[in-house]
Amino acid sequence: MSPPRVTVVGAGIAGVTCAAVLAGRGVAVTVLDRARGAGGRLATHRHAGRPADIGAAYFTVSGADFAGQVRRWQAAGLAREWTDTLGVFSGVDRAPDSRGPMRWAAPGGLRGLVADAAAELTVRTGHPVRSVRPGPGGRPLVDGEPCDAVVLAMPDPQAARLLDPATPAGAAVTGRAWNPVLALTLGHPRHAWAPLRAAFVNDHPELSLVADDGDRRGDGAPVLVAHSTGDLARRFDADPAAAAGPMTAAVHRLLGIDSDPEWTHVHRWRFAAPAGSRDEPFHLGTDGIALAGDGWGRSRVETAWLSGDRLGRELAGRLGH
Ligand SMILES: Cc1cc2nc3c(=O)[nH]c(=O)nc-3n(C[C@H](O)[C@H](O)[C@H](O)COP(=O)(O)OP(=O)(O)OC[C@H]3O[C@@H](n4cnc5c(N)ncnc54)[C@H](O)[C@@H]3O)c2cc1C
């Protein structure tokens, strides 16, 4: 008998984790992503061959299951402990540092964590999915093609575009607000700022975080990545590149930099993080349409991983594997 066929839409950390669990249990899985590569919001921007992390700034670990995965990434050289202490700015004033959980970073960029799992899977990139509908016999239709189940592993507003709001999955993602962020990457000829790992920027009109990507990634490159406030991202939604000037000026004021960067790059994350959270780790309907991602819990890398992992196990069991 041929194995059940599952389509996973979204090759972020949630989608590839879910697909890897299903594939490991003997399910035939295909992952589709509209982007050029896997990774989603674990994203890197390459400048002159060097990657900078422009999505998630780092990740933290709380549960035992994710800790096991992180140990495997660490052993493979994909992840490393970075710091438990981050700077804080209150407006433009430096406040006392904040100690918290260990922040993990990736020497080759966080996208590598997803690419590692994706390498073992059938992943079709550059493949936008336009419609997911319930089908006859409980077999959903993905752009009209039947499969035994489909997983949408992406932000709620992106999933909502594919679904009928009258279906259980469509209703689950309709009307859920997500906040935008612009990520500005600045390449300087040399370090023109006092030693910094990263700093939360509170009560600032333009910035929410600034990180030294060379420190984070361990190669010492003079590259900064700054995240905007949601308000600034909304203001520049139609022309994100135009935010480079005001964001650069804000970073320079904050860190006391008085020389120009060699290059800048702005990436728009229209759906960076959900405004609210949920208690359930995923959705799995009787129509075979499932939802996963960091919208299922508190938005962070660990939540997305856990959501994909849990859904993969539940779905494999339902499919008799
Ligand atoms: C600026 C920023 C800062 C962050 N900082 C942190 C942090 O410091 N720590 C932390 O833990 N987390 C952080 N996060 C959150 C973290 O990045 C996410 O929780 C995690 O990456 C979400 O993974 P995911 O798989 O759920 O979704 P995503 O990574 O968004 O993956 C969804 C995928 O679906 C694809 N897709 C969407 N629509 C379609 C379609 N129609 N057809 C085909 N493919 C489609 C997309 O291309 C994408 O690849 C940050 C996120 C951002 C944006």
Residue pair 241/206 in contact by the 8 Å Cβ criterion: no
Q: Does the beta carbon of 33 sit less than 6 angstroms from any atom of ligand 1?
A: yes
Say what the pLDDT of residue 1 is: 76
Residues of the chain with pLDDT > 90: what percent? 99
> What is the three-class DSSP state of 316?
helix
The span from the CA of 14 to the CA of 202, in Å, is 29
pLDDT tens track for 64-114 = 999 999 999 999 999 999 999 999 999 999 999 999 999 999 999 999 999
Q: Does the beta carbon of 59 sit less than 6 angstroms from any atom of ligand 1?
A: yes
Per the rule left: phi > 0, alpha: psi between -120 and 50, beta: everything else, 244 is alpha
Distances (CA, A) of 289 to 142, 172, 237, 285: 10, 11, 31, 5
In the reported structure, the alpha carbon of residue 40 is separated from the centroid of ligand 1 by a whole-number distance in angstroms of 5
Over residues 143-154, the mean pLDDT reads 98
Kindly tell me if the per-residue pLDDT of 6 is higher than 90: yes
Q: Output b/e per residue, 149-167; b: 16+ Cβ within 10 A.
A: bbbbbbbbbbbbebbeeeb
The span from the CA of 245 to the CA of 267, in Å, is 14
Q: Which domains does the chain have, with CATH numbers?
A: 1-42+110-174+276-321 (3.50.50.60), 57-109+177-275 (3.90.660.10)
Would you give the DSSP letter of residue 3?
P
pLDDT tens track for 197-245 = 999 999 999 999 999 999 999 999 999 999 999 999 999 999 999 999 9
Over residues 293-302, the mean pLDDT reads 96
Residues of the chain with pLDDT > 70: what percent? 100
- The gap from C-alpha 119 to its chain's centroid, in whole angstroms, comes to 18
Residue pair 29/122 in contact by the 8 Å Cβ criterion: yes
Q: Does the beta carbon of 148 sit less than 6 angstroms from any atom of ligand 1?
A: no
| Furthest C-alpha separation in the chain | 68
Over residues 15-19, the mean pLDDT reads 98
Closest approach atom of ligand 1 to CA 129: 42
Query: Inter-axis angle of helices 111-118 and 13-24, to 10 degrees?
Result: 30
Over residues 273-295, the mean pLDDT reads 97
Kindly tell me if the per-residue pLDDT of 318 is higher than 80: yes
Backbone angles phi, psi at 104, to 5 degrees: -100, 145
Over residues 253-267, the mean pLDDT reads 97
In the reported structure, the alpha carbon of residue 16 is separated from the centroid of ligand 1 by a whole-number distance in angstroms of 12
pLDDT tens track for 23-68 = 999 999 999 999 999 999 999 999 999 999 999 999 999 999 999 9
Q: What mean pLDDT, rounded, does the chain reach?
A: 97
In the reported structure, the alpha carbon of residue 15 is separated from the centroid of ligand 1 by a whole-number distance in angstroms of 10
In the reported structure, the alpha carbon of residue 42 is separated from the centroid of ligand 1 by a whole-number distance in angstroms of 6
What's the sign of the alpha-carbon dihedral 116, 121, 125, 127? negative
pLDDT tens track for 154-204 = 999 999 999 999 999 999 999 999 999 999 999 999 999 999 999 999 999
Per the rule left: phi > 0, alpha: psi between -120 and 50, beta: everything else, 203 is left
Closest approach atom of ligand 1 to CA 60: 11
